[in-house]
Amino acid sequence: MKISILTLFPEMFNVFEHSIIGRARNNGILDINTVNIRDYSTNKHKKVDDYPYGGGAGMVMSAQPVVDSIKAVKQNENSKVIFLGPRGKTFNQEIAKELSKLDELIFVCGHYEGIDERAYKYFDMELSLGDFVLTGGEMAAIPIVDSICRLIPGVLSSEESFTEESFYSGLLEHPQYTRPEVFEGEAVPSVLLSGHHENIRKYRRQISLAITKERRPDLFKCVKLSKEDIKLLKDYEKHID
C-alpha cells in the first residue's frame, strides 16, 4: 500500500520508521511518504494560513497550498483522499478494515482554527478520532495510519496477531498471561495450563464476552451471539453469582 501524508510537520511521522511499521516499510510492504504542504504555497514567504473572513480568533489554512499538494500527490484516480477533522465520521475498526483493502491513501492533516471550506471538495472522506480537541490532524493521523497498516497482509508476523485482538471481532480481548505461573500469590488460570486447545478457546471466548458486556455494552449489543456464546455467558454468570 502507498500512503501519502500531507502535513505542515513531516518530522512528526518519524515514528513510522520504527517497530512493526518500520520493518514493513523496509520489506517493501508499505510505502509511506510525508509531503510538506508549505512546499506548495505560492506565497513568497511560504505562508499557508490567513485571517478568517468575518472575523474570529485564530488563523485558517488556505485552500491553495492544500489543493495543490493534493493534485501533486494524487496520481491514481482510485486513491482516497482523507481529511482529518472534527466534522468527520468517528474512526473505528470497521473503517480500518475497509481502508486497508485499498492500494493508495492520501491523508490531509488540518491545523490552526480550520481549513478553507473550498478545499473540502477535494476530500473523499473526513475522519475524526472522537469528540475532543487535538492540536492538529497529525495527532489523529498517527494512530489511524497505524491501525490501517497493521491489517495489511505481511505487516504482522501472522494473521492471528490481529484477528485475536480487541475490536477485530467486535469484542474486547481476553486477558493474557506469561511466566511466572504465580506472581504475588496470583496464579495463571488452570485452563491455560491444561494444553486442551478447545477448552482454552472456549475460556478465552467466554472471558471476552463477559468483559465486553461489562465494560463496553455499546459494543456488546452489536455482537451477534451464537448458541455457544449464550451458553458460555450463562455459565460464566452462574459461576460469579
The response to whether 110 counts as a known ligand-binding position is yes
The response to whether 129 counts as a known ligand-binding position is yes
The response to whether 134 counts as a known ligand-binding position is yes
What is the distance between the alpha carbons of residues 220 and 172, in angstroms, rounded to a whole number? Answer: 9
In three-state secondary structure terms, 49 is strand
- No. of H helices and E strands in the chain? 8, 9
What is the distance between the alpha carbons of residues 186 and 180, in angstroms, rounded to a whole number? Answer: 10
Q: Which of 12, 45, 198 is nearest to 111 (CA)?
A: 12
C-alpha cell belonging to residue 68: 495543490
The response to whether 145 counts as a known ligand-binding position is no
In three-state secondary structure terms, 14 is helix
What is the distance between the alpha carbons of residues 232 and 199, in angstroms, rounded to a whole number? Answer: 11
The response to whether 183 counts as a known ligand-binding position is no
Amino acid letter, 132: F
**Binding site, residues?**
110, 129-134
Give the residue ranges of the annotated binding site for S-adenosyl-L-methionine: 110, 129-134
